[in-house]
Amino acid sequence: MNNFQKLGLSPSIIEVLDQLGFENPTPVQEKAIPMLLGEDPTDFIGLAQTGTGKTAAFGLPLIDLIDQNSKATQALIMAPTRELGQQTGQQLSNFAQNNKSVNIEVVYGGAAITNQIRALKKPTQIVVATPGRLLDLIKRKAIKLDNVKYVVLDEADEMLNMGFKEDIDEILSHTLENRVTWLFSATMPPEIRRIVKKYMEAPLEVSINAQEKSNKDISHKYVVTKTSNKISALRRFMDIQPDMRGIMFCRTKRETQQIADDLGNLGYGVEALHGDLSQGQRDSVMKRFKTRAMQLLIATDVAARGIDVNDLTHVIHHTLPDQLESYTHRSGRTARAGKKGISLVFINPREDRKIKALEKRINISFEQIEVPALEDLRSSRINNWANLIINTKVDEQSEAILNELHEQFAHLNKEDILKRLITTQLDHLMIQKGESSNLNASEEGSSESKTRSKTGFHRYFINIGAIDGMTKPDVLHFLSDISNVDRKFFGEISLQKNCTFFDLDDKQDQGFSQKFNGIEVKGRELRVNRDDEGNKRSKPSYSRDKVRGKRRQPRSDVNRSRAGRR
């Protein structure tokens, strides 16, 4: 018996689920579907992580609830990215196989809007859309939402993170006041609660926490290595595990492309996925990834939203996300459908506290592992190669070719030939010149690390902080740009509400503070001091004018009052 039958779905839907191999609902599906199919449609909140089956949780009841005889658009699903929208549209089309009169269209930016306008002229009961493109279509009067009864906000927290709040407000103003709103999100920040209060009435709520989902099948591991050694360490894991297939998450688009280029130039099967790629490029990358034409996809968090690829063995974190809750989004890409997976984090020696915070926040345990040493790498490579040779079926043409080569190898015995073949395999390891055998580093808690950080750096203070819209990377760029000191000479950065403490290599100490004299941000004079020069940890007395707008705001608003300053 198909267990979906107990949830109240129609026979035609159950038949499709049988054909697709769906037998047992996930926890979020089991709890949400009966609520959404109730006689009195209700507003609904579903809190669940990536990979828990949210699309089926709202998609299956949606297909049963719409009026198939009506040509009007009755359901609107908003998604943060093109990839998630495409994936959702495809899944809904699969679920609606027995409902031939149901038409589902997906609209998103990066594709020709004329084609989407043409498609929407046909009767379309369900529209899946990204907010930006949907607004364009509304303004062009290419779509009408005045008959929409059901609005689904999928990955709502991510849509807000991407700045779609005003777009969502504008879109919902074009729908019926008595519509039903279903909101699905991995987290419930205050911004989501404000949407709930504004647009929903007494919503039912289902929460599937991180411990209830399939992440019990994920092994969480981390390695401690210097930031400059992360890519070398990654190559060793890829070399020693040739069957690895996964996604590596990076913080920025630039970093994503650079790592992909560097690894690609060394012959590794990797490609980048980020927002600077055209839609055609993104589609091509995803097609190659899904067909196993590459070993590792290097992606930003935003670009990877909505990626649904089976049998990923690894999720790798080049850098942990700023929002620790996003870790579950990332790691949920592996260990799906009852399979096992590994979530591997690269941290530098100063970041061990982040691992402890993650363990406490989402109730998981991390295992520290070592970066493979060169000796392990060589042994693994040769053993894999030897097993490949032993298990290779001999081609019938090989004997004739061997006879042709006999004279060329006549002066070599078997051991000589094997040594040369082993050497060619070792050459494939591509160890960089001067690369250390041991890429592991001590965590910050070790006495060695503490001594090194104290003796090699001086602690500084600057009177800009989070209240100015700054992040740690923003502060680092700002300090480097103004002082002309390379970023590699800055150590730990501690961002506070209205100030920042940072470490500076003592070799760059001479005259550093004076480089900021006369520089203002929003009419406020900057102060940069050595933290050991008096009591600098008290709150600075300066105007609380906030620097609003884009990131790195102080950099663009700098007023260098001294003539001739660069």
Whole-model pTM over 0.75: no
Q: What confidence category does residue 428 fall into, taking pLDDT thresholds of 50, 70 and 90?
A: low
Tell me the β-bridge partners of 344.
221, 316
Give residues with Cβ within 8 angstroms of 246, minimum separation 6: 296, 297, 312, 313, 314, 315, 316, 333, 334
Question: pLDDT digit string (tens) for 336-356?
Answer: 766 889 999 999 988 888 899
Higher pLDDT, 375 or 204: 204
Q: 46 with 28: CB under 8 angstroms?
A: yes
pLDDT score of 454? 45
Instruction: Determine the average pLDDT of the residues in 529-553.
Output: 43
549, pLDDT greater than 70: no
Residue 372: alpha-carbon gap to chain centroid: 25
What DSSP assignment string belongs to 495-517? E-SS-EEEEEEGGG-TTTGGGGT
98, pLDDT greater than 60: yes
CB atoms within 10 A of CB 424: 9
Q: 322 with 343: CB under 8 angstroms?
A: no
CA separation for the pair 158, 306 (Å, rounded): 11
Q: What confidence category does residue 309 fall into, taking pLDDT thresholds of 50, 70 and 90?
A: confident
- Which of 7-11, 334-338, 390-394, 466-470 shows the lowest per-residue confidence on average (mean pLDDT)? 334-338
Q: What angle do CA 179, 180, 181 make, to 5 degrees?
A: 115
Question: pLDDT digit string (tens) for 509-534?
Answer: 889 999 998 888 777 888 898 865 54
Alpha-carbon distances, residue 527 vs 489, 514, 540, 552 (angstroms): 20, 9, 9, 18
CA separation for the pair 528, 463 (Å, rounded): 7
> For 350-454, where are the E strands, in sequence order?
366-368
Q: 33 with 54: CB under 8 angstroms?
A: no
Question: pLDDT digit string (tens) for 120-153?
Answer: 999 999 999 999 999 999 999 999 999 999 999 9
pLDDT score of 524? 80
CA-based nearest residue to 107, from 80, 128, 125: 128
**Token pair in block for residue 306:** 């909505």
CA separation for the pair 438, 370 (Å, rounded): 9
pLDDT score of 144? 94
pLDDT score of 542? 33
Residue 252: alpha-carbon gap to chain centroid: 10
Phi/psi of residue 316, nearest 5 degrees: -115, 135
Percentage of the chain exceeding pLDDT 90 = 44
Q: What secondary structure, in 3-state letters, does 66-84 show?
A: CCCCCCCCCEEEECCCHHH
550, pLDDT greater than 70: no
Tell me the β-bridge partners of 346.
223
Phi/psi of residue 429, nearest 5 degrees: -70, -20
What DSSP assignment string belongs to 250-309? ESSHHHHHHHHHHHHHTT--EEEE-TTS-HHHHHHHHHHHHTT--SEEEEEHHHHTT---
Question: pLDDT digit string (tens) for 168-194?
Answer: 999 999 999 999 999 999 888 888 889
pLDDT score of 122? 95
CA-based nearest residue to 90, from 372, 270, 241, 308: 308
CA separation for the pair 333, 315 (Å, rounded): 7
- Single-letter amino acid, residue 121: K
- Mean pLDDT (the chain) is 84
Q: What confidence category does residue 444 fall into, taking pLDDT thresholds of 50, 70 and 90?
A: low
Instruction: Determine the average pLDDT of the residues in 481-488.
Output: 86
Q: 127 with 88: CB under 8 angstroms?
A: no
CA separation for the pair 204, 192 (Å, rounded): 15
What DSSP assignment string belongs to 130-159? -HHHHHHHHHTT----TT--EEEETTHHHH
Number of C-alpha atoms within 13 angstroms, CB side, residue 177? Answer: 0
- Which of 16-30, 236-250, 257-271, 349-363 shows the lowest per-residue confidence on average (mean pLDDT)? 349-363
Location of structure tokens 């529209």: 127
CA-based nearest residue to 317, from 307, 306, 304, 308: 304
Domains and CATH numbers, the chain: 3-207 (3.40.50.300), 214-372 (3.40.50.300), 375-427 (no CATH), 447-560 (3.30.70.330)
540, pLDDT greater than 50: no
Q: 369 with 221: CB under 8 angstroms?
A: yes
pLDDT score of 104? 97
